[in-house]
Structure 1
Amino acid sequence: MSHHIVFLDHEGIAPSVRVPPISFPHSWQSYGYTAPEQVVARLQGATIALTCSVPLREEQLRQLPDLQMISLALTGTDIVDTDYCQRRGITVTNVPAYASNTVAEHVIATIYELFRRPACYHQLMRRVHRQETAAKNIYFDYRVRDVAGKTLGIIGSGPIAQRLGELASKMGMEVVYDDRNGARCGFGFVSRTALLEMSDVVSVNVPLTPETDNMIGRAELARMKRDAVIINTARGGIINEAALIEALQQGKIGGAAIDVVVNEPLAADDPLFALVDLPNFILTPHMAWSSEDAMQTLISGSVDNIHRFVEGERLKASPLAS
């Protein structure tokens, strides 16, 4: 048979990334972006949907009787009603480990920025050049700390968490992992309470689930050292944003780097923008995953999943290790 493949949001992949050729009989339709109200119309007659970030919910899927497969060009599966797909026999696949290195490198970059402050001092030099601030022989405007010797606490133990731990160890950091309420044991695993209390950097690397929703709130942030920083490259909602805003504004923690938020894309009036001028806060638009290398791996893996499905392999989305 000939499959009809619809790529719902090719704008989620950089122009430099090449979509591999499809080797079986098919028709192909690609859209830059698909709004929720456009999903059903655009997927009418489609047997395979490819999506980077467009959600596919039960109320939409019920109206798509021809759909056989959803190939997710991302790590998670939370944008699809997988329970309904399982009941209906719709195959759902993802590419779980494509960004393990690039997200880990992003975390490392933000650690260095929060501790070493090169961008802050670059902006200071711009102000000196514009004569907005006086030139001095030595500047102590921003605190500078070494990264080597600090403790990194990683909440998570999947591919990204493991790669992050590997890189951090090579930088001279002590690395500890959350023991998942005692489910993980052995050297390097500590209770979440101990992790929060002992870490100079806390990195969140778990999927968003009912168990991890608002996992880091006011009480957890209060357990951190006053000069410790927290980094979230996982999913918005794992850190309670109101609690984080309060902690930073009141100086209860040393800093934060946030790449994921509850409401994406971030609106101009989002409360998090109250922090955007703080030198110890980094806000990026969910781009930790988006190196060209990772995106090529992602789209190649997504198309490979489609080929494997058409060839008759029994596939399912890979669960995210946490």
Structure 2
Amino acid sequence: MTPTPKIVFLDASSLSDLPAFDRLNEVGDFTSYDLTEPSEVPERAADAQVIITNKLEITAEVIEQLPELKLICVSATGTNNVDHKAAEKRNIPVRNVAGYSTDSVAQLTLTAYFTVAMDLLHLNELVYNGAYSKARDFTMWRHPFHELPGKRFGIIGLGAIGQRVAELAACYGAEVVYHSISGSDHDVPYRRVDLEELLTTSDVVSIHCALSDDTRHLIGYAELERMKSTAYLINMARGGIVVEADLARAIDAREIAGAAVDTFSTEPLPDDHPYLGVKQREHLLLTPHVAWASVEARTRLIDGVIENIKAGW
């Protein structure tokens, strides 16, 4: 009979509010902490056979201090927070969960675009602050807005999330084109274009590629200058794909109409981040890395972690 593993979730704060979270008790002797400092890992996971981490780094030093460790589960898609060489040296599998947040990220992508492009936060405030009540006309707006049908929606990275965004944009009547970082064609009804054409002709540029040596700082000031002055940039992928200081500068210079960003190079956002110094704030919508976090997506994530524990134990 296989012994019940001791499982420690080191940084469970983003999942522990869900009813599904309690199911982790069914697969082992389970303990969770909302947050764990790196110095606390050796004590908290001292005799754990399975550890679960979301963002907390599992370094070679940490792995060396956990003699009972047999499995590392990452409650995310990326596993760059784990030292894979150190895990391989001990024959410890590292399991992630892929595809759980596709619909959630795609949903916020379109929502964020419409919010910034239609100036919705400002219009909402006009009603609440009494400006609309004092208006002489029945309607009011600050910036004209356009319909998405007939506009070109350019997607950088056509993986699962990129394809779902493409489907939603196409449902609105947009012309979807995409740029493949690898240069590969996908079996999709959308045209592949080079980055230059995508940037210069798209009304919306939406980023959905992974962060890698090929994509780090892919979009800097030169690329933003090549976009239409009426175009919007949406980044729901990784902050490092965009040169953040350059985007802040381009927003204030009105090189593009606006942007919506959900991910940042450093998270949480530092007080001195360039985005927070933008003068034209109505043209830059910022959300706190929340695109992945619908209730359904987080529930699928827990289910995936449970399956990884069952398969790896």
Query: Match for 1:13 among 15, 24, 33?
Result: 15
Query: Match for 2:243 among 233, 240, 244?
Result: 240
- CA change 1:83–1:169 in 2 (3 A) is farther
SS for the counterpart of 1:50 is strand
Query: Match for 2:114 among 98, 112, 115?
Result: 112
**What's the counterpart of residue 145 of structure 1?**
146
Question: d(CA) in 2 for partners of 1:53 and 1:181?
Answer: 27
What displacement does 1:38 show? 1.9
- CA change 1:140–1:164 in 2 (3 A) is same
Question: d(CA) in 2 for partners of 1:46 and 1:86?
Answer: 18
Query: Match for 2:65 among 30, 38, 63?
Result: 63
Letter in 1 for 2:156: I
Letter in 2 for 1:151: R
SS for the counterpart of 2:127 is helix
- CA change 1:263–1:67 in 2 (3 A) is same
Deviations along 1:111-157, whole A, 9 cap, x unmatched?
Answer: 111222232211122233598xx523142412211122111111111
Q: Say yes or no: does 1:136 pair with 2:136.
A: yes
What displacement does 1:276 show? 7.6
Letter in 2 for 1:135: A
Letter in 1 for 2:149: A
What displacement does 1:290 show? 0.6
- CA change 1:73–1:214 in 2 (3 A) is same
Maintained 8 Å contact 1:14/1:295: no
Question: d(CA) in 2 for partners of 1:34 and 1:290?
Answer: 20
Letter in 2 for 1:100: T
Maintained 8 Å contact 1:114/1:255: yes
Q: Say yes or no: does 1:230 pair with 2:233.
A: yes
Maintained 8 Å contact 1:276/1:283: no
Overall identity of the aligned pairs, in %: 35
Letter in 1 for 2:229: R
SS for the counterpart of 1:10 is coil
Question: d(CA) in 2 for partners of 1:218 and 1:292?
Answer: 36
Question: d(CA) in 1 for partners of 2:109 and 2:245?
Answer: 22
SS for the counterpart of 1:32 is coil
- Pairs within 5 Å for 1:172-251: 172-180=173-181, 182-184=183-185, 188-251=191-254
Query: Match for 1:270 among 270, 273, 279?
Result: 273
- CA change 1:44–1:213 in 2 (3 A) is same
Question: d(CA) in 1 for partners of 2:276 and 2:77?
Answer: 27
What displacement does 1:99 show? 0.4
Quick one: higher RCO (CA 8 Å, sep 6+), 1 or 2? Answer: 1
Maintained 8 Å contact 1:71/1:93: yes
Maintained 8 Å contact 1:249/1:275: yes
Deviations along 1:267-301, whole A, 9 cap, x unmatched?
Answer: 33322211386111110110001111111111111
Letter in 2 for 1:136: R
Q: Say yes or no: does 1:257 pair with 2:260.
A: yes
Unmatched segments (≥5 aa) in structure 1 = 311-322
What root-mean-square deviation, in Å, do the aligned CA atoms of Structure 1 and Structure 2 show?
Answer: 2.0
What displacement does 1:39 show? 2.2
Question: d(CA) in 1 for partners of 2:90 and 2:202?
Answer: 46
Q: Say yes or no: does 1:279 pair with 2:287.
A: no
- CA change 1:276–1:98 in 2 (3 A) is farther
**What's the counterpart of residue 74 of structure 1?**
76
Answer with 152-161 or 176-185: which moved more.
176-185
Answer with 118-127 or 268-277: which moved more.
268-277
TM-score normalised over the length of structure 2: 0.91
SS for the counterpart of 1:136 is coil
Unmatched segments (≥5 aa) in structure 2 = none
Maintained 8 Å contact 1:7/1:49: yes
SS for the counterpart of 2:281 is coil
Question: d(CA) in 1 for partners of 2:105 and 2:186?
Answer: 25
Maintained 8 Å contact 1:58/1:81: yes
TM-score normalised over the length of structure 1: 0.89
What displacement does 1:166 show? 0.8
Letter in 2 for 1:246: R
Question: d(CA) in 2 for partners of 1:104 and 1:48?
Answer: 32
SS for the counterpart of 2:6 is strand
What displacement does 1:182 show? 3.1
- CA change 1:70–1:136 in 2 (3 A) is farther
Maintained 8 Å contact 2:112/2:260: yes
